[in-house]
Chains A and B, each alone.
Chain A
């Protein structure tokens, strides 16, 4: 008997207050098999499935009056954000608190970098405080993986440079699954600034792994090199890109990561790639609109489309984000708790 199996059984009812809907959750053959969650790359479809099932079971808890589970009681979670973030940090904080972890936020900005401390020094300093989970975001690709090599706890990548943002992809997948009942076979158009987007990379990996048909729709200046090798269709205009799409996933134009001019003007970008009802005509009538936020209204998406409660799943994404992060926190600390 592997330790994780025991911990899975230990999970449910806490304090006898209510039932955690863990019955239908897919079981893993053994442990989760990953110490950290640094990206979607390296996750098997059944592992993604498991995380999504877990997250699904936490959705209801967030809707109850009493939102607290005791799963991470006594555990310390440090949120280390080198890059400003409101929603992701809040989401991770809420997820940790709903699982009863002691959550500490460190918004480093660039202040300690200015003081000359290197990332590895920061990692070792935090490690000496014995956290159980470290949630980290950094402006450089690979920085969270570097951090993970110098700490003894589980690390969750909350976004590293233009590399990956795995919990965003998981929450997007959960949103799609709950609204459409499946991921496999859907046509999903990811539109906009793919080049600078870690959300796009994680989503491409996850959605193609789960059997969706993924299209990228972007001006050529905002597509990374050789992206067609990732098993996606590439389009350079919205009409063909959105044709018969089940999901339209808009990306934020990330001007803060851009060196020089990638598009001539915001006006022209909106004209060509901004999501409007007119462009949405090409998609399926029940096509769902998603956006990882924060939105630039009038840049990549028209305000009225974003606010359309029948079409837009943007607020669902935010809600499910907490559940997904609870699932990730719980899964990665499972062996730790089993050992305790």
Chain B
């Protein structure tokens, strides 16, 4: 049996509220022990590493990641995506089914699981499509997808707009117990829109997507949640009205959860000035009032989860006139530092931010991750919440460099990432795929 120990760290476990100095012992792939009582003198039989006061927390769980494989391998592969995840401290992530071909068939779920296993980096959990081809008409084989390992159901970047199909999907999924995850945007209202509707869009002469497109879709879905009792999750919420709708639904006891992406709580629509296509996201960056409402929603728990909404786009998809450019930003490697801004701004505690990044998303998808617990897989990160650095697109490990945060000065750096007790990222160095120690 191989025993490793990391001592001299600040243990952070948002699930239990633990925030104390101590250490952790890893046996094989799992956490054998952790706590303030662990120090070098008691660990003579183990391989001991001194954490030198760094924070040790469960690895991040990112529940919204788009990869390019299969179909768009020039944008992101499993190899590049899991490398980016390792550098970003993400030890588990869920990937969207809107690939080509889409993950609407149990064989595709198994393909994803196999590709991720081969790489031995972050654990990759596929979503299954709600409808065949993510086309919004005929239900995919939800139960078979679930049995094959799909952790939830979504049509990816497409809203499921047909109310009848949504009602049936929710009714069916409620028995299988996989959450339905919606891209909250009324496609008819958003048709042709490329940025937030408002003064900036008017000045730039760009077609707008009104904030109402988001809340209308959520309000409709909430009625169907009432009807079916299905677990419903709102992907990357971007407007104040939508945050308020979710807040009310939670107060009335509906099984609803919501997530926000870093760009929606760190940036607003002014980023689009100069037709910056790297700031073209779906849903679009909104007004400053909306941004503040998303921050408030995160702080009061209305928004349960922070997810990167990682959406790689190559240069040829972005170096275009704004209306022609693709939507999306990469986010795996900037997830932690941008989220920690909420701590540095005094809006949320460190444990609260980690809660949105670890145990809550893990629980939402039923993953064995996101907590410091004896016997749990040793998926851990060491990070320095204060370390200053500059985000530079050329440093990203993602195949695509479409970050709106290029040049931004941030605080908070991942030092080391462990998956199943293996070090896959250490001090800027990535362990080679499938050979991690």
Q: Which residues of A contact B (CB under 8 A)?
A: 41, 118-120, 138, 140-143, 145-146, 160-164, 198, 201, 224-227, 229-230, 259-260
Whether the pair A138, B198 counts as a contact (CB closer than 8 A) is no
Q: Which residues of B contact A (CB under 8 A)?
A: 191-192, 197-199, 201-208, 210, 274-275, 316, 319-324
> Which of chain B's residues have a CB closer than 8 A to the CB of A225?
197-199, 201-202, 208, 210
Whether the pair B192, A259 counts as a contact (CB closer than 8 A) is yes
Query: Whole-angstrom distance between the alpha carbons of A259 and B322 in the complex?
Result: 18
Q: Which of B201, B207, B321 contacts A143 (CB 8 A)?
A: B321
Whether the pair B321, A141 counts as a contact (CB closer than 8 A) is yes
* Known contacts A162-B207, A230-B202, then 9 further A-B pairs from the complex at CB < 8 Å, ordered by chain A residue: A140-B323, A141-B275, A141-B323, A142-B205, A142-B321, A146-B320, A161-B206, A224-B202, A225-B197
CB-nearest residue of chain B to A202? B205
> Which of chain A's residues have a CB closer than 8 A to the CB of B198?
225-226
Query: Whole-angstrom distance between the alpha carbons of A41 and B202 in the complex?
Result: 13
> Which of chain B's residues have a CB closer than 8 A to the CB of A140?
321-324
Query: Whole-angstrom distance between the alpha carbons of A224 and B203 in the complex?
Result: 9
Whether the pair A120, B323 counts as a contact (CB closer than 8 A) is no
Whether the pair B274, A145 counts as a contact (CB closer than 8 A) is yes
Query: Could you show 24 A-B contacts with beta carbons less than 8 Å apart?
Result: A118-B316, A118-B320, A138-B321, A140-B322, A140-B323, A140-B324, A141-B205, A141-B275, A142-B321, A143-B321, A145-B275, A146-B275, A160-B205, A162-B206, A163-B204, A224-B202, A225-B199, A225-B202, A225-B208, A225-B210, A226-B199, A226-B202, A227-B202, A230-B203
Query: Whole-angstrom distance between the alpha carbons of A12 and B323 in the complex?
Result: 44
Query: Whole-angstrom distance between the alpha carbons of A330 and B344 in the complex?
Result: 53
Q: Which of B191, B205, B316, B319 contacts A163 (CB 8 A)?
A: B205
**With contacts A118-B316, A259-B191, A259-B192 known, is A141 near B202, CB below 8 A?**
no
> Which of chain B's residues have a CB closer than 8 A to the CB of A201?
202-203, 205
A150 to chain B, nearest CB (A): 9
Query: Whole-angstrom distance between the alpha carbons of A118 and B277 in the complex?
Result: 15
B332 to chain A, nearest CB (A): 28
> Which of chain B's residues have a CB closer than 8 A to the CB of A161?
205-206, 321, 323
Most buried by B among A118, A140, A160: A140
> Which of chain A's residues have a CB closer than 8 A to the CB of B274?
145
CB-nearest residue of chain A to B192? A259
Query: Whole-angstrom distance between the alpha carbons of A161 and B201 in the complex?
Result: 12
> Which of chain A's residues have a CB closer than 8 A to the CB of B319?
118, 120
Query: Whole-angstrom distance between the alpha carbons of A141 and B202 in the complex?
Result: 11
CB-nearest residue of chain B to A258? B192
> Which of chain B's residues have a CB closer than 8 A to the CB of A138?
321
Query: Whole-angstrom distance between the alpha carbons of A227 and B201 in the complex?
Result: 10
Query: Whole-angstrom distance between the alpha carbons of A118 and B324 in the complex?
Result: 11
> Which of chain B's residues have a CB closer than 8 A to the CB of A146?
275, 320-321
A80 to chain B, nearest CB (A): 14
> Which of chain A's residues have a CB closer than 8 A to the CB of B321?
119, 138, 140-143, 146, 161
> Which of chain B's residues have a CB closer than 8 A to the CB of A120?
319
Query: Whole-angstrom distance between the alpha carbons of A140 and B275 in the complex?
Result: 11
Query: Whole-angstrom distance between the alpha carbons of A105 and B282 in the complex?
Result: 38
B256 to chain A, nearest CB (A): 29
Query: Whole-angstrom distance between the alpha carbons of A198 and B202 in the complex?
Result: 10
> Which of chain A's residues have a CB closer than 8 A to the CB of B191?
259-260
Whether the pair A164, B205 counts as a contact (CB closer than 8 A) is yes
A212 to chain B, nearest CB (A): 19
B65 to chain A, nearest CB (A): 28
Whether the pair B205, A162 counts as a contact (CB closer than 8 A) is yes
Query: Whole-angstrom distance between the alpha carbons of A161 and B322 in the complex?
Result: 11
Q: Which of A41, A141, A226 contacts B206 (CB 8 A)?
A: A141
> Which of chain B's residues have a CB closer than 8 A to the CB of A118?
316, 319-320
Most buried by B among A142, A201, A260: A142
CB-nearest residue of chain B to A140? B321
Query: Whole-angstrom distance between the alpha carbons of A163 and B210 in the complex?
Result: 19
**With contacts A119-B320, A146-B321 known, is A41 near B203, CB below 8 A?**
yes
> Which of chain B's residues have a CB closer than 8 A to the CB of A227?
202
Whether the pair B202, A142 counts as a contact (CB closer than 8 A) is no
> Which of chain A's residues have a CB closer than 8 A to the CB of B324?
140
Query: Whole-angstrom distance between the alpha carbons of A259 and B202 in the complex?
Result: 17
B272 to chain A, nearest CB (A): 10
> Which of chain B's residues have a CB closer than 8 A to the CB of A160?
205
> Which of chain B's residues have a CB closer than 8 A to the CB of A119?
320-321
B313 to chain A, nearest CB (A): 14
Query: Whole-angstrom distance between the alpha carbons of A230 and B321 in the complex?
Result: 25
Query: Whole-angstrom distance between the alpha carbons of A162 and B319 in the complex?
Result: 20
